[in-house]
Chain A
């Protein structure tokens, strides 16, 4: 919701740029859940992190789709990005190292195992898709898309085999996270929840 508020209120400045871009950092995690409009805040069902995370990522994608649809007439384009599975971000420091060791990803000295690290992206690789969406001339006339590996991702209509032992197979975008009705509905819900009217004009 914070990013919706930020984008909505920055709209005059985005419009003024005559060719601005908005990039929402999302994730393959959107594959875990569609957006539940009946209970977006888990008030009537048990909170499950998998679902909460997936739902929030799907919301990122839907927001990019609808924002782009509304704003492209003002030369503002929007994108959603899956950075990939990235090693060594700042976040690891927040979690207890004992758990990583228990999972087998880290050795006793607290370092990530080389065979695990080898399947992950480095930080410059992880940020590449964001930078590509923000700057590439190849996207001058295209927007509202979900991107990964510095290209537009393929629609996942059940044609992609997701193998959890191979991170490179974790790709594609779920149809529910680019769906028109859901995108419009989420926009309305975001306006209600933030108390903001985001009129793109």
Chain B
């Protein structure tokens, strides 16, 4: 019987030996993913693309569902053991189509990385919030600039 993390019971650093400056190359060192299958949403751009490359280099087969398949093909060109398929996370029917195809292949799924989509929320917010006040614009821009995380001096500027 394992423990769960309710109320943050397990939220304690374990002294992994890594820190904010650690890179994918460092954390994957010594790990062999031969025979493992991964699905990475948004695995064709930004940190998703980096995650795809890292898992491929460790021996995994990586499947990248893509909203923009041409962009995926371009960004993933030349990489071996990568499979691409059309899928739009905003469209439930397209998710089902993607899944049915994967399940029909009869393969297990060792790693599911839910990486994509969330960053578009603040971008959407730019359009929605444009006429309201300045704050959503700042927030949206920050996220579109840096992908994730909080603004530092811009948040302060908002008061």
Contacts of A125 in B (CB 8 A): 20-23
Report how many A-B pairs have Cβ atoms within 8 Å. Answer: 326
B11 contacts which of A27, A152, A166 (Cβ < 8 Å)? A152
Contacts of B46 in A (CB 8 A): 86, 89-91, 123, 126
A3 at the interface (CB under 8 A from B): yes
B112 at the interface (CB under 8 A from A): yes
Roughly how many angstroms separate A66 CA and B6 CA in the complex, as a whole number? 8
Contacts of A149 in B (CB 8 A): 18-20, 22
| Chain A residue nearest in CB terms to B42 | A25
Roughly how many angstroms separate A127 CA and B39 CA in the complex, as a whole number? 15
Contact B14 A151 (CB under 8 A): yes
Roughly how many angstroms separate A76 CA and B13 CA in the complex, as a whole number? 21
Contact B6 A183 (CB under 8 A): yes
Q: Mark B1-40, 1 if CB is under 8 A from A, else 0.
A: 0111111101111111011111111111001010001110
Chain A interface bracket (under 10, 10 to 19, 20 to 34, 35 or more):
35 or more
| Chain A residue nearest in CB terms to B30 | A137
Chain B nearest CB from A190 CB (Å) reads 13
Which of A97-148 touch B at CB < 8 Å? 99-100, 103-105, 119-128, 130-132, 134-138, 141-146
Chain B nearest CB from A22 CB (Å) reads 5
Roughly how many angstroms separate A5 CA and B144 CA in the complex, as a whole number? 25
A170 at the interface (CB under 8 A from B): yes
Which of A41-60 touch B at CB < 8 Å? 46-50, 52-53, 56-57, 60
Known: A10-B112, A22-B112, A126-B147. 8 other contacts (CB 8 A): A3-B114, A14-B109, A25-B113, A49-B139, A53-B122, A137-B31, A145-B10, A150-B27
Residues of A within 8 A of B (CB): 2-3, 5-7, 9-10, 12-14, 16-29, 31-32, 46-50, 52-53, 56-57, 60, 65, 68-69, 72-73, 82-87, 89-92, 94-95, 99-100, 103-105, 119-128, 130-132, 134-138, 141-146, 149-155, 164-168, 170, 173, 175, 178-180, 183, 194
Residues of B within 8 A of A (CB): 2-8, 10-16, 18-28, 31, 33, 37-39, 41, 45-51, 54-55, 58, 89-90, 92, 95-96, 99, 102-103, 107-115, 117-119, 121-123, 125-126, 128-129, 132, 135-141, 143-156
